[in-house]
Amino acid sequence: MTRRLALITGASAGIGAEFARQYAARGWDVALTARRADRLEALALDLEKHFGCSTLVIAQDLAGAQAVDAILAEVKEAGRHVDGLVNNAGYGLPGTFFNTSWADQETFIRVLFTAPCELVHKLLPGMSERNYGRIVNVASLVGYTPGSAGHTLYAPVKAAMIKFSESVHAEAKAAGHDIHVTALCPGLTWTEFHDVNGTRARTNQAPAWMWMQAGPVVEAGIDAVERGMPVVVPGGQNKGLATLAKLLPDPIARMVMAEQSKRFRDLKD
């Protein structure tokens, strides 16, 4: 029997690299994609050595309109099909809607929402034909919290990622396919995310109990998708915060978010 293949976006760092490690450890082959080819090559070599898996390295910028087609063409050229997809690539766009360009906002939507939806849309026919698919869409705890000043589209896009996952999960279930779709909603996680968006110094002021390592976050995601859960919030602290966000009256939740935004984001200029 041929080994299953997981396609992981944003595999060059953080949560994506950890997904690659954990899928490889579970006996899957992995197709790694992100922009930094050197990082992907190094990870691929390491995984081949430690887990004896096959790897594909596909350097692509998801901001490009043809990126998804290019990634899928490389998988096909290698004679493989995708059994598992992890839509993970992402970043935070610093600043506000007032002081950022539309080009940057549009690119953000493409990388964090349009490209993931396109990948799911283009992979579903093959998955349903083979009656097998596992899809993890990396959303965020902020998909549950009110919109806030700064990083304007981050929360809306992550909320959409949760709803999108629930919808496709329900459609696959209604069709009777063995295709599971899960939105993974991490809270603060130790990766390069806050270095890349320039908020490291401020975000590190968040209390230690709020932070998780990528390992248990990814473990929760893979476990949830295997069990057919449409959404998973990893970690007791994040589950508590998600519940609080649902229970608090909206005006109070907005007040709390406003205070947090002032603390952790630069909203001036």
Catalytic residues, by residue number, are: 154
CA distance linking residue 7 with residue 86, whole number of Å? 6
- Closest contact distance (angstroms) between CB of 165 and ligand NAP is 13
Return the residue of 6, 7, 20, 34 that touches ligand NAP, per CB under 6 A: 34
Judged by CB under 6 A, the stretch of 33-41, 71-79, 165-173, 229-237 that binds ligand NAP is: 33-41
Calpha distance 138→116 (Å, rounded): 10
Size of the site for ligand NAP (CB under 6 A): 28
Out of 58, 188, 225, 241, the residue judged to bind ligand NAP by CB under 6 A: 188
Judged by DSSP in three states, 261 sits in helix
Instruction: Fill in the DSSP letter of residue 4.
Output: P
Does position 120 interact with ligand NAP (CB under 6 A)? The reply is no
Q: Which of 110, 104, 112, 58 is nearest to 87 (CA)?
A: 112
- 45 versus 175: smaller Cβ distance to ligand NAP: 45
Comparing CB distances to ligand NAP, the nearer of 101 and 268 is: 101
231: contact with ligand NAP by CB under 6 A: no
Q: What stretches of 26-91 adopt beta strand conformation (E)?
A: 29-34, 55-59, 84-87
- Binding to ligand NAP in span 68-97, by CB under 6 A: 88-91
CB 207 within 8 A of CB 159: no
To the nearest whole angstrom, how small is the minimum distance from the Cβ of residue 199 to ligand NAP? Answer: 10
Q: How many CA atoms lie within 13 A of 105 on its CB side?
A: 13
> Can you point out the beta strands (E) in 106-261?
133-138, 179-184, 231-232
Q: How far is the CB of 16 from ligand NAP (least distance, A)?
A: 5
Residue 186, both tokens: 């991490």
Interface contacts to ligand NAP, rule CB under 6 A: 10-16, 34-36, 39, 61-63, 88-91, 111, 138, 140, 186, 188-189, 191-193, 196
